Amino acid sequence: MKFIVLFEDAADADPGIRAAYMKDHIAFLESNAAVVEAAGPLTDGGKRGRDGLWIVEAEDQSAVVQLIHSDPFWPTGLRASYSILPWKQVYRDGRGLIPT
């Protein structure tokens, strides 16, 4: 099942946290490439990354929670919260995925 994970960064987080842990965060995403299909920051007009979004393929929501809590960003205080939304993909690569 696919899930969208939306992260909200803490308003009072040290701005250096993202930079300090980015290498570990990317290595974590790469080591979980079988389940994290896409990931990246949201932006404020393309100038600065903030918050974040993942597209995840997982058995259930509890597996997604476990993945989030394993991310090196999680224990740093960078993330204030997250939302996990089940997602049904109906369009990809220029075509519909639902039989008509």
Tens digit of each residue's pLDDT (9 = 90 or more) over 40-89: 998 877 666 679 999 999 999 999 999 999 999 999 999 999 999 999 99
Please choose, from the candidates 57, 29, 31, the residue with its C-alpha nearest in 3D space to the C-alpha of residue 41: 29
- Nearest alpha-carbon partner for 75 in 6, 28, 40: 28
pTM: 0.90
Domains of the chain: 2-89 (3.30.70.1060)
pLDDT score, position 45? 73
